[in-house]
Amino acid sequence: MLVAAAVCPCPPLLVPAVAAGAASELADARTACSDALGVLAAARPDRLVVVGPAVEGARGGFPGGSAGSFAAFGVDLSVRLGSGSGGERPLPASLSVAAWLLGHTNWSGAPVEGLGVAESAQAVRCAETGREIAGSAERVALLVMGDGSACRTVKAPGYLDERAEAFDAAAARALGTADTAALLALDAGLGSELKAAGRAPWQVLAGAAEGTDLAGRLLYEDAPYGVGYVVATWS
């Protein structure tokens, strides 16, 4: 059963070593993520599953101890997702950021596992995956990694799309109020057009939370670099 969840953005720039001189620009987001992980720890889960978007070849499960790297971003920094022997496949970027966050906050709670999901995954399949995760242990927590639209300004990765702000506002409202129905109603096609990498992971969360009475809390919402970032907790 899902007992708590934290929602965090997953840009590699969240890691100070990657952001370098721009590290201070995401300091508030980083602090909010640390606070969100504190909520997960307080819930005392038996199992923590990290869910994030992944490209083909980096999808599916990752055991505890799986390694990731930020070498692709020009930084000689490696991370591990919790403890354990890991596996042969490297973590996708979203789970590497999660591994850094967990290490940064000295996570010492439940065993950690990862799951990379396709950004194109349909809501029904995402919800099914969430229900499977929630039923895997008596007390399950989720760390859900994912960004909103990448089309909030002309300098954004996806340029400016006037639909982006409304999409992000709806997502932030749903995440901040633990509204599972509203999350599942987010349009996969529109999310893809807006390059919203968090849509599928958020819908996994919605499926996992079905039948619970968790309350949501929005800790951070902004769009630096023209990308929607949200930090929220469900507990």
pLDDT in tens, the chain (235 residues): 999 999 999 999 999 999 888 879 899 999 999 999 999 999 999 999 999 999 987 899 999 999 999 999 999 999 999 988 888 899 999 999 999 999 999 888 889 999 999 999 999 999 999 999 999 999 999 999 999 999 999 999 999 999 999 999 999 999 999 999 999 999 999 999 999 999 999 999 999 999 999 999 999 999 999 999 999 999 9
Taking the C-alpha atoms of residue 204 and residue 117, their distance in angstroms, rounded to an integer, is 9
Q: In the beta sheet, which residues pair with residue 141? A: 4, 48
pLDDT at residue number 215: 98
Note the pTM of the prediction, 2 decimals: 0.97
pLDDT at residue number 106: 87
- CB of 39 closer than 8 Å to CB of 5: no
Taken in order of first residue, the domains within the chain and their CATH numbers are 2-234 (3.40.830.10)
Taking the C-alpha atoms of residue 219 and residue 28, their distance in angstroms, rounded to an integer, is 10
pLDDT at residue number 25: 87
User: What angle separates helix 164-177 from helix 199-208, to the nearest 10 degrees?
Assistant: 20
- Report DSSP state, residue 91: P
Mention every residue, 6+ apart, whose C-beta is less than 8 A from residue 100: 14, 15, 77, 79
